[in-house]
Structure 1
Amino acid sequence: MRLIPPRWAKRLRKHGARWALGLLLTALAALYTLDYLPLAAPAHLDTFLSDQRMRLEPAVLDPRVVIVDIDEKSLSEVGRFPWSRDVMARLVARLAGHYQAGAIGFDISFPEPDTSSGYAVLQRLAQGRLKDVAGFEASLAGLKAELDYDGLLAAAIAGRPVVLGYNVSDKQLKGVLPAPAFTVAGLNGRAVSAYTARGYEANIARLQQAARGAGIFTAMTDGDGVVRSSTLLQRIGDGYYPSLSLAVCAVYLNARAIAPYFDETADSLSAAELDNGGLDYISLFVDGPRGRGQIGIPVGEGLTTTVQFRGRGGPEGGAFRYVSAADVLAGKVAPALLKDAIVLVGTTAPGLNDVRATPVNAEYPGVEVHANLIKSILDNSFKSRPSYALALEFLQVVALGLLLTAALAVLSPLPSVLLALAATAAVVGFNYYLYSAQDAVLNMAAALLLVSALFIVNLAWGYFFEVRRGRALVSRFGEYVAPELVAEMADDPEKYTMEGESRELTVLFVDVRGFTTISEGLTPKALREYINLYLTAMSEDIRDSHRGTLDKYIGDAVMAFWGAPVAFADHASRAVATALLMQASAARLNLDFIARGWPPLRIGIGVNSGLMHVGDMGSKIRRAYTVMGDAVNLGSRLEGITKVYGVGIAVGESTRAAAPEFAYRELDLVRVKGKHEPVAIYEPLAPADQLDAATLAELARWDAALAAVRAQDWDQAERLLAELGAAAPERGLYALYAGRVAWLRAHPPGPGWDGVTTFDTK
């Protein structure tokens, strides 16, 4: 009992190795998606693709966020930076009072007191060299409030929606931290993974106490120095402190709390799940005029979120409006641009070192990183990796791998290229759809690399194995068939095979008459030239003129066939035409040979059509592409029979039926050695439309004579044969039948005679 059907067994033998290799590549890609196979190249490619995808984000201006830029113009008009805090106080007063900004966030920190007013110097003079100057100390006391720049800034900040920024580090503890968003104690035993800072450089107490909040503006870069994500909160001590963007949004939206959101309760989580807390979102609980409810910000490992960059960044980037801080101080900005907007105070001036490398621009203003995060929070739209990402990536890789593994092994080059391109387009299109329509960030490097690897492997396999094997096959066929057939086969070698099969074909045998006598009458050198000229002429007629397959040379004999490896529906006609051409070539050679003083050349040709076995046959030592079968044996017998009937060509009745465009002379009904059934044999004369009237009349008289013989009408047969013999004394066929009639008259065959001639020898 066969476990595998023959059809599939053949496919497994042909494509099994390629399928196995494809499945191996698919398995490796699947393991990579499941994080069981850490590979650097796909990870780098995913990063590159993510960056390119980010570049496609449209730069649509968002009027809700405005960047007050401490630019070169501001430095030129106001002075070098950092500015004294009385200037910053005027800036805050302008923004909050005159322009009525909805929230003000500083991408700047104030970690040390401002002594630039000179008040401390004057105070020392009042207590020293100028203490005896009448009224000086009293006047100085009156100037204290005016020269207390920190106090001026604190007063400007107090009661207004101002959020300060600060930096975290591992080196120092400077300034005063704001109140944390939540603490470890508030997590009810859950361990939330977050980036932990050992130090900070925060704002001085007077300013921090006056502000509504503060946020961390420290940039977080990947290993290549590019900012792609940002922490929403970082842990300092037992508290979790928000980023500048999150803190600004909390003030702007009047959020009552920033809190972690867990999908499961602590009681329902396993010990392993408790280790990462099951935290999926950071929530803003909003309760104010700009909205109510909960905004969930998806976070990944370390409480990070992906920054969705828009535009190219900077004043010309197109995503956010930039106004010069100098124009704000001078009151030159249209109030409508800043009213109720979130204002971020930052700098783009060269030398102030607030430029970041991002996926969309290698010199991207740091303040605009916060602007992009704020926009995402306000829109409640985040590009994040969903919970189903891993499963979808795995299924995508497996489905693509199975499809391409099965298909690429059997497709020709052009369909393979089209399929690989279609698969690549499908992966990219599906991924971009999820990214743009569902805000889902999926990795696609594994799928794209798998498509590329499967295509390249199958292409290389096709070249190094299939194509080379096909070319080798065609090269071998070049020994048998005409050059134009070789070129045709080379275009699609997969269609041709040397494996054994059965086909309707036509075979031809040709032999030199009296070759033993010829060889005895020539020197070895002359004999070699004689036979070479003969074989060359016959081979050219077979291969080049009628695209036959040259099988072999058997001494002075030649064997050929038509219909394989290239199939021809008219194989019989080609063989008959070739036989006639070979007789003409032999007649031409004969004139040349006689002129050289060589023995004359006469050949006999046998042609037969029928079902034959064709393929690469032989032994382990030597093999050849040849034909076998009863139809082949009959063709060989017909070549020998030509000597008996005195004709140059004899064909079987199946050949005559398959090539009706030629005129034939029936020779006999024969029963050759090894066969019981009689067959009719014929001599092809020429294409039927080329016979002259005399030849047609001769054929009609011959058909009548043959009919008389088979009817045992000996008188009529003798009369007709005599007339034919007198008209064509060189034709031995008529003399043969005249002798046969004489013998049959003397030895009557009786009423049961079938008119068949039996040959007991080959």
Structure 2
Amino acid sequence: MARLLARLGLGRALAFGLAIALAMLRILDPAPLEELRLRTFDFFQLAEPREAAAHPAIIVDIDEESLRSLGQWPWPRTLVADLVDRLTALGAAAIGFDVIFAEADRYSPGSIIDLVQGLDAQSRERIRALPTNDAILAQAFRNSRVVLGESAVLGAGSQAGPAKRQIGIATLGADPKPFLIEYSGLLRNIPLLEEAATATGMLTINPERDGIVRRVPLAMRAQGLVLPSLSLAMLRAVSPAGQVIIRADPSGVQSIGIRELEMPTDRNGQIFVHFDHHDPARFVSAKDVLAGDVPPEKIAQKLVLIGTSATGLFDRQTTPVDASVPGVEVHAQILENALAGSYISYPDYAMAGELAAALAASLAIILLAPALGAALLAVLGILIATSLAGASWYFYTRQGLLFDFTYPLASALAVYLVLVFTNYLRAQTERAQVRSAFGQYLAPDLVEELVRAPEKLVLGGEEREMTFMFSDVRGFTAISESYKHDPSGLTSLMNRLLTPLTEAIISQKGTVDKYMGDAVMAFWNAPLVDAEHARNACFAALDMRERIASLNRRREVEAKANGAEFLPLRIGIGVNTGTCVVGNMGSDLRFNYTVLGDAVNLTSRIEGQTKNYGVTIMAGASTMRAAGEGFAALELDIIKVKGKSEPEIVYAIFGASDLAASEAFRTLRDHMRQMLACYRGQEWKRALNELDACRAFEKEFDLKFLLDLYASRICAFRQSPPPADWDGVYIAEEK
């Protein structure tokens, strides 16, 4: 076992131990676990209750209307006798009472004669000689087939002594008495009525701890006797066999019934009632029976139960399918279960099946979890859950067998959570170890990536098309000198500068590669794929320009308030798109996730040219092609930067789609295109004319530096023209 646990690892060993512990818990079956199981069975019955096509048991209801018409309960026994006689005449197969006649009728003539004043002795004796109401009711019982109800009590003793008539009970197999629920006493009917009745049966219904009636004992023990329930006694009363059979084995009671109507029970002789919803069709009013308003076919050959639905008589029960039903209806539904053969049961082997399912599901998760990813493990969990629930539902609906799927499901879930928790702890421990081992040698960002994916701890990278950005503050040396006596102020300024630039980059899905003093290098489309990398880089550049403008406005206000000189921050931003190598670059001891390639170097050169053309944002032709429409961009020149042999068309970006669609920008762009065409075609006069047309927008787009630059070049070329085969490329001598 120790070797097995070592091979499993700590997490899986704990999960395996938990599965065994949960199996032991199921064997002990504490109250909360049993309640969860019973609630599951409630759900089954509520989702698909029994459908009663016919009602072989009819309830004569001492309802509110009957009480209003005939008086409050208890009624005179003569009235009850009349009710029994009428039901007998209507052809009732048997009549069962869900009421107990525990005392003599106080309305009998002999009981009330002493309350009458002025009667002579002879009249009193004649009245006393009349039959009592109880005797009249007893005679009605003898003329019919009546089963009287009795109730178990927890107090010692019995109200009426031992039974005068004990029905025959046959036991098959083991002695069932040790398993039957035992009560210390009985609440009985008066002997006169019990002797006249065909049989007696127990009315006792035991709701579970939550107050819901699910199981009803078909037989129980009291005063050393085995006593049948009311429903069982009624079935025996109409059965030719006339004998109750209790089948048991060493594990407990298996079934109780009569001959062909054996009903499966739990080990204590209780039947799981297969409930139908409350149905008014089961009920007839006692008032209507006494009035002769009930047709014979409603009663003929039916098992008749006399009980009450009146709220004031406090005989209401909660079932899995109804919040409140008359208690007598529970007995009626047991009779329907028996006569229709519609049973549900929780067999002895159910616990073994649930344990096997729980262990199988738990072991499947324990053994397969390391080989499955999170998604497949979730699929496995869903498969286990649906299989367990589906199997339980099948056995309930097709076989009438109750199996609890919540226990194996909860067991598997607990095992899964233990695995998740221990894996999390192990991962956190491994991350801490990696940080401790490599934190002194690797860059922090690479350490974090190594924590997430140690397989990336190799040199090299992959080729990918990306967009790059360099930004730099112009004239930063002069600004730095103004802080030569305030180093902390310079640090604060750097933070105020780099923070908004970084936020602009990150907000557009960019990755900040590094800070180089006042310069920032960033790239797009790595490590995460970004199909819109060129557009996002251009949007980030525009956002950076706006954020710097906002920062300058705040700094100007601060400078005026402090009486200090205000030196605005001006940045140049170069953007370019191309193929490069991206990955971990460096030495075997220290490396960073970065980019290398000619396109990266060109980006740096483009950024350096922003100051030479007097623009804030300059982009290469590849970027503008990849970015597509939606930007206010002007072609600036065809330049050959230092260190490059191939010329590059460069553009200045002034804004987004709203500016690009404006009349002013479209006019400017047309004149600028004409100017460049004339310039490259050496049509100097026409070029100057177009340049003059562009000056109408000089202030709006801050073009003075750029237009003056081209005016100076044109004047120089007019004095000293380039060769006839000149291609219009400008050779940039400065970086």
The interval holding the TM-score normalised by the smaller chain is 0.5 to 0.7
Is residue 147 from structure 1 mapped to residue 114 from structure 2 by the alignment?
no
CA contact (8 A) 1:216 1:241 kept: yes
Whole-Å separation in 1 of the counterparts to 2:496 and 2:148: 105
Q: How far apart in 2 are the matches of 1:311 and 1:660?
A: 69
Distance (Å, rounded) in 1 between the aligned partners of 2:384 and 2:164: 53
In 2: Cα distance, 1:732 partner to 1:600 partner: 29
- In structure 2, what is the Cα distance between the partners aligned to 1:260 and 1:102? 24
- The within-5 A match list for 1:364-379 is 364-379=325-340
Query: Which residue of the partner structure matches residue 90 of structure 2?
Result: 99
Q: CA deviation at 1:580?
A: 13
Are 1:303 and 2:265 an aligned pair? no
Amino acid at match of 2:198: R
Q: How does 1:18-57 map to 2 (within 5 A)?
A: 27=19, 31=23, 34-35=26-27, 38=30, 40=32, 43-48=34-39, 50-51=41-42, 54-55=45-46, 57=49
Per-residue Cα deviation, 1:227-268 (whole angstroms, up to 9, x for no partner): 332110012355422100111112234343221235xxxxxx
Query: Which residue among 179, 187, 195 is the counterpart of 2:166?
Result: 179
Asked if structure 2 preserves the Cα contact closer than 8 Å seen for 1:33 and 1:446, the reply is: no
Q: CA deviation at 1:564?
A: 2.0
CA distance in 2, matches of 1:222, 1:608: 74
The CA distance in 1 between the partners of 2:211 and 2:519, in whole Å, is 82
Aligned letter for 1:320? R
Cα distance in 1, alignment partners of residues 539 and 188 from structure 2: 103
2:74 matched to which residue of 1?
82
Which has the higher mean CA deviation after the structures are superposed, 247-256 or 49-58?
A: 49-58
Secondary structure, aligned partner of 1:256:
coil
Q: Counterpart of 1:742? A: none
CA RMSD of aligned residues (A): 6.7
Counterpart of 1:265?
none
Residue 563 (1) aligns with residue 525 (2): yes
Q: Scaled by the length of structure 2, what TM-score is found?
A: 0.61
State whether structure 2 residue 323 is matched by structure 1 residue 339. Answer: no
State the shift of 1:150 in Å. Answer: 4.5
Partner of 2:151: 167
Q: Which residue of structure 2 lines up, in the alignment, with residue 281 of structure 1?
A: 255
Q: Aligned pair in 2 of structure 1 residues 350, 522: CA closer, same or farther (>3 Å)?
A: closer
How far did 1:217 drift? 1.0
Q: For each residue in 1:634-693, what CA deviation from the matched residue of structure 2 results, as whole angstroms up to 9, or x when unmatched? A: 669979999xx99x99999999999999999695997xxxxxxxx955444459998744
Counterpart amino acid of 1:296? E
- For 1:541 and 1:58, how far apart are their aligned partners in 2? 65
State how far apart, in whole Å, the 2-side matches of 1:513 and 1:726 are.
37
Please tell me whether residue 242 in structure 1 is matched to residue 228 in structure 2. yes
The 2-side partners of 1:150 and 1:172 are apart by: 24
Relative to 1, partners in 2 of residues 1:136 and 1:44: Cα closer, same or farther, differing over 3 Å? closer
Write the distance in 2 (CA, Å) between the matches of 1:734 and 1:255: 117
Change (3 A) 1:465 1:70: same
Aligned-partner SS, 2:280: coil
- Deviation, 1:376, is 0.8
Task: State whether residues 26 and 397 of structure 1, in contact with CA within 8 Å, keep that contact through their aligned partners in structure 2.
Answer: no
Tell me which of 192, 205, 214 is aligned to 2:200.
214
SS of 1:147 mapped into structure 2: coil
Q: Is the 8 A contact 2:469 2:537 kept in 1?
A: yes
- After superposition, give the CA deviation of every residue in 1:8-30 in whole Å (9 maximum; x if it has no partner): xxxx9xxx99x979968994995
Q: 1:158 aligns to what?
A: 142
1:564-594 CA-to-partner distances (Å, cap 9, x unmatched) read 24434686899899999999xx9xxxxxxxx
2:283 pairs with 1:321:
yes
Instruction: Mark the CA change 1:52 to 1:568 in structure 2 (over 3 Å): closer, same or farther.
Output: closer
The verdict on how the C-alpha distance between 1:573 and 1:33 changes in structure 2, with shifts beyond 3 A counting, is same
Q: Distance in 1 between matches of 2:301 and 2:593?
A: 93
TM-aligned CA deviation for residue 409 of structure 1: 8.0
- The secondary structure found in structure 2 opposite 1:254 is coil
**CA spacing shift, 1:88–1:63, aligned 2, 3 Å:** same
Contact 2:640 2:648 in 1 (8 A): yes
SS at structure 2 position matched to 1:34: helix
Query: Is the contact between residue 513 and residue 601 of structure 1 (CA under 8 Å) also seen in structure 2?
Result: yes
Q: CA separation in 2, counterparts of 1:112 and 1:538?
A: 94
Structure 1 counterpart SS, 2:329: helix
TM normalised by structure 1 equals 0.59
SS class of match (2:297): helix
Distance 1:75 1:571 in 2: 85
CA gap of 1:187–1:154, structure 2 versus 1, over 3 A, is farther
* Aligned-residue offset at 1:187: 5.2
2:237 maps to 251
1:537-548 to 2 correspondence within 5 Å?
A: 543=505
Q: Partners of 2:417 and 2:53 in 1: how far apart?
A: 44
Would you say 1:384 and 2:351 are equivalent positions? no
- 2:480, 2:490 within 8 Å by CA — same for their partners in 1? no
AA aligned to 1:82 is P
Aligned to 1:231: 217
Unpaired runs of at least 5, structure 1: 1-11, 124-128, 263-272, 286-293, 467-493, 587-595, 671-678, 699-721, 737-761
CA contact (8 A) 1:168 1:216 kept: yes
Cα distance in structure 1, aligned partners of 2:544 and 2:723: 26
Q: Is the 8 A contact 1:612 1:632 kept in 2?
A: no
Gaps of 5+ in 2: 1-7, 115-119, 428-451, 549-564, 630-634, 653-668, 683-719
Q: CA deviation at 1:355?
A: 3.4
**Structure-to-structure mapping, 1:427-446, within 5 angstroms:** 431=392, 434-446=395-407
- Say if 2:642 and 2:733, in contact at 8 Å, map to a contact too: no
In the alignment, what sits opposite 1:716?
none
SS at match of 2:256: strand
Structure 2 match to 1:627: 594
Cα distance change on mapping 1:499 and 1:65 into 2, 3 Å = farther
CA contact (8 A) 1:101 1:341 kept: yes
Count the aligned residue pairs: 606
1:194 Cα deviation after fit: 0.5
Distance in structure 1 (CA, Å) of the matches to 2:186 and 2:566: 116
Letter in 1 for 2:150: Y
Task: Please give the residue correspondences for 1:109-120 in structure 2 after superposition, counting only pairs within 5 Å.
Answer: 109-111=100-102, 117-118=108-109
Q: What SS does the corresponding residue of 1:369 show, helix, strand or coil?
A: helix
Task: Read off the aligned partner of 1:368 and give its amino acid letter.
Answer: E
Instruction: State the SS of the aligned residue for 1:345.
Output: strand
Q: Once the 2 structures are TM-superposed, how far is the Cα of residue 389 of structure 1 from its aligned partner?
A: 3.5
The residue aligned with 1:756 is none
Alignment of 1:402-481 (within 5 A): 410=374, 431=392, 434-446=395-407
Residues in 2 aligned to 1:70 and 1:513: alpha-carbon distance in whole angstroms: 100
% of aligned pairs identical?
28
Q: For residues 248 and 220 of structure 1, what CA distance do their matches in structure 2 show?
A: 20
